[in-house]
Structure 1
C-alpha cells in the first residue's frame, strides 16, 4: 500500500512494532559489542582489562578561574547536586546542562565567557560526577530529572533562568522548557532536536536509527559499562578523539589533561552506571503529551555531527512558537561548545542580545 508504514498501524500494533524494533536492535548492538570484546581478548588479552589507577583529580578540575565548586541538596529527592558557579550572585542565572558522557567541565569555555553578565552554573546531572548517584534505575526517569532542574533553580534563589543544554542535557532542557515555561526566559540547545522530532525521525530514517544504536545497546544491564571501561576506556576516549566522532579542529582538541579529567570522573567505582541509567529510562515520558516551546530559542548544530542528522534541526522549527534561530556550524563535531567555543559563545551572545527584538513575550 503506498505510504504504508508503522505510523499508519493501529495504536496497539504500532506500539508492539516499536518495542520489537527496540529489542531486536538492542540484541544486534549487543552481539556486535560482544564480538568486538572477544576480538580484543584474543588479540590483546593482557591489555583488555587493564585500567590505570586514577585517584588524584587533575589540576584543571580545580582551576579557580573556572568558578567555585558548590553543592545543593534538593527537597523532593534528597539528592545532593554538585555544580561549578562563576559570576556574581544576584546576576541573572544561566544554567548549563551537559550531555553524555560528560560533566560540568564540558562547559569550561562558557563559564569563563558569560560570568561577566550572568551567574553561570554548570551542573553535574543526577548520577554524574560528584552529584549523588542512586542505584535504582527507576530514579533516572525523565520526570524525576526534570523536577531536579526546577528544584535546583529554586534552591539557587531564582525563579527564572537562561537554560542551555547539550546532547542529553539538550533533551532535558527541551522538556524543562515545555513543562515549566514560566521558568525559562531563553532556551539554547546544542546538538539535539525537539524530542518529538527525534522520536518520529528515528523511526522513519534507518540511518539515524543506526547512529543512535547506542541508545538501544544501553538498555542492557552491566555489559555497556564493561565495554566502555575495557582497554583503559578506549571506547570512551575515541568518542572525543577519533576522526569519526571526536573534536578534530586544531587548537580545540582535548589536551592530555582534559582527557584525564574525563577519565578521572568516569573511572570512579560505579561512575558509568548513573549516566547509562538515564538512557535506560529514555522512553519514560515519550512520546510527549505536550510539545510547544513558547520562549525564544537558539538551536546550534555541528555540520559533521556523527550522532544526530542535521535534517532534524530544521524540523524542530515547527514546535517553537516564538522566535527561533538555527545555526549549523561548518566542520563542527557533536561536541560543539568544546569544538568551536569562540563561535558558539558569539552566537549565544548575539541571540541573547538580539532576540528581544523578535520575542513574542
Structure 2
C-alpha cells in the first residue's frame, strides 16, 4: 500500500510562512531606508538631491587589458563616437554593439578574448557612454543609428567586419545585415530576434517599434549573412519562441543556441560559454 500523501495544507502553510518572512524582512528594510531618506530631506534637502560630478571614472574602465580608449568623428553627422579597441590594427574587424542601458564595458570579456585574432572595437552608440548625445528625439531614429555604424566602419578604414550585437545593439546589427549585407562577414546576435519576428507576436508591447517593416517587401527582411543567434532561456524580456521564428528570416547558414541557465545579459553572465560558441561559429564558417 502506498504511503498516505501529506495534506496539501502543509506545503501551503510552509510557503505562506516563508514568503511572510521574506516580505516582512524586505518591508522592514524599506521602512528604515525610507525614514532615513525623509530625515535627510527634512534636514538638508539641497544636500540630499545634489548632483555630484565624478572626478575620475572607476578604475575598471581604465583597465589596460581591455584595450585603448579612442574617439572618431563622423564627417556627415559631425558626431564624435567613443570606442575601446583591442588587438592589432590590420587584423579583421570585430565590431561590438551594446544594448540598453549599457555601454562599451558590457563587452569587456569579449575584448580580452578575441583580440588575439581580431581588431576588436566596442563602440558606445550615440547617446551612450562617452559618445555624443544629440538632444532631439529625431536624432535617434533607426536610419540614423544604422548610418552611424556604416559611417564608423568607413571612418575606421574597414569595408567588412564581424558584427556582434546584444539587445538593442542586436536589433541594429540585424538591420545593418539587411541594409548592407556586403559589409558583414558574419553576424552574431545575443538575445534579440530578427525585427520582423515582432510582427508575428502582435501582442508584444515592443512590436510597435518595428511597424515600419509592414511597408517593406518581404524579401527586404531577409538576412543573407551567416548568422549565430545566442539566447538565454531565462530572458525576462523576450519570449523564447521568438528565437525559433527568427530562422525563417535568415537565408544562409543559421545556428541557434539556447543556454538553459542564461539570462538576457548572456555575454556578461556566461562569458566563457558565449566566447567558446562564437569561436566555434567563426572557425566553422572559415572552414566552409
Q: With the length of structure 2 as denominator, give the TM-score of the two structures.
A: 0.80
The Cα offsets for residues 227-260 of structure 1, whole Å up to 9 and x where unpaired, read as xxxxxxxxxxxxxxxxxxxxxxxxxxxxxxxxxx
Give the superposition deviation at 1:284: 7.8
Give the superposition deviation at 1:85: 0.1
The Cα offsets for residues 148-192 of structure 1, whole Å up to 9 and x where unpaired, read as 000100111100000000000000000000000000010000000
Counterpart in the other structure of 1:279: none
Is residue 291 from structure 1 mapped to residue 221 from structure 2 by the alignment?
yes
Give the superposition deviation at 1:283: 4.8
Where do 5+ consecutive residues of structure 1 fail to align?
Answer: 1-38, 217-281
Counterpart in the other structure of 1:152: 152
Is residue 84 from structure 1 mapped to residue 84 from structure 2 by the alignment?
yes
Give the superposition deviation at 1:50: 4.7
The within-5 A match list for 1:281-320 is 282-283=209-210, 285-287=212-214, 289=216, 290-320=220-250
Counterpart in the other structure of 2:45: none
Q: If you compute each CA radius of gyration, which structure gives the higher value, 1 or 2?
A: 2
Give the structure, 1 or 2, with the largest relative contact order (CA under 8 Å, sep 6 or more). 1
How many Å separate the matches in 1 of 2:211 and 2:122? Answer: 25
Counterpart in the other structure of 2:264: 334
Give the superposition deviation at 1:357: 4.9
The within-5 A match list for 1:91-240 is 91-201=91-201, 203-204=202-203, 208-209=204-205
Counterpart in the other structure of 2:9: none
How many Å separate the matches in 2 of 1:283 and 1:329? Answer: 27
The Cα offsets for residues 1-29 of structure 1, whole Å up to 9 and x where unpaired, read as xxxxxxxxxxxxxxxxxxxxxxxxxxxxx
Counterpart in the other structure of 1:58: 58
Is residue 321 from structure 1 mapped to residue 240 from structure 2 by the alignment?
no
Give the superposition deviation at 1:196: 0.2
Q: CA RMSD in A?
A: 2.3
- Secondary structure at the aligned position of 2:221 is classed as coil
Task: Decide which of 335, 339, 348 is 2:278's aligned counterpart.
Answer: 348
Name whichever of 78-87 and 288-297 sits farther off.
288-297
Give the superposition deviation at 1:43: 5.0
**CA 69–285 in structure 1, closer or farther in 2 if over 3 Å, else same:** farther
- Secondary structure at the aligned position of 1:322 is classed as coil
Asked if structure 1 preserves the Cα contact closer than 8 Å seen for 2:81 and 2:130, the reply is: yes
Q: With the length of structure 1 as denominator, give the TM-score of the two structures.
A: 0.64
Give the superposition deviation at 1:330: 1.5
How many Å separate the matches in 1 of 2:186 and 2:95? Answer: 11
**CA 327–292 in structure 1, closer or farther in 2 if over 3 Å, else same:** same
**CA 51–149 in structure 1, closer or farther in 2 if over 3 Å, else same:** same
**CA 284–54 in structure 1, closer or farther in 2 if over 3 Å, else same:** farther
Asked if structure 2 preserves the Cα contact closer than 8 Å seen for 1:143 and 1:285, the reply is: no
Shift >6 Å, 4+ stretches = none
- Secondary structure at the aligned position of 2:66 is classed as coil
How many Å separate the matches in 2 of 1:146 and 1:301? Answer: 23
The within-5 A match list for 1:10-21 is none
How many Å separate the matches in 2 of 1:182 and 1:288? Answer: 23
- Secondary structure at the aligned position of 1:148 is classed as helix
Counterpart in the other structure of 1:253: none
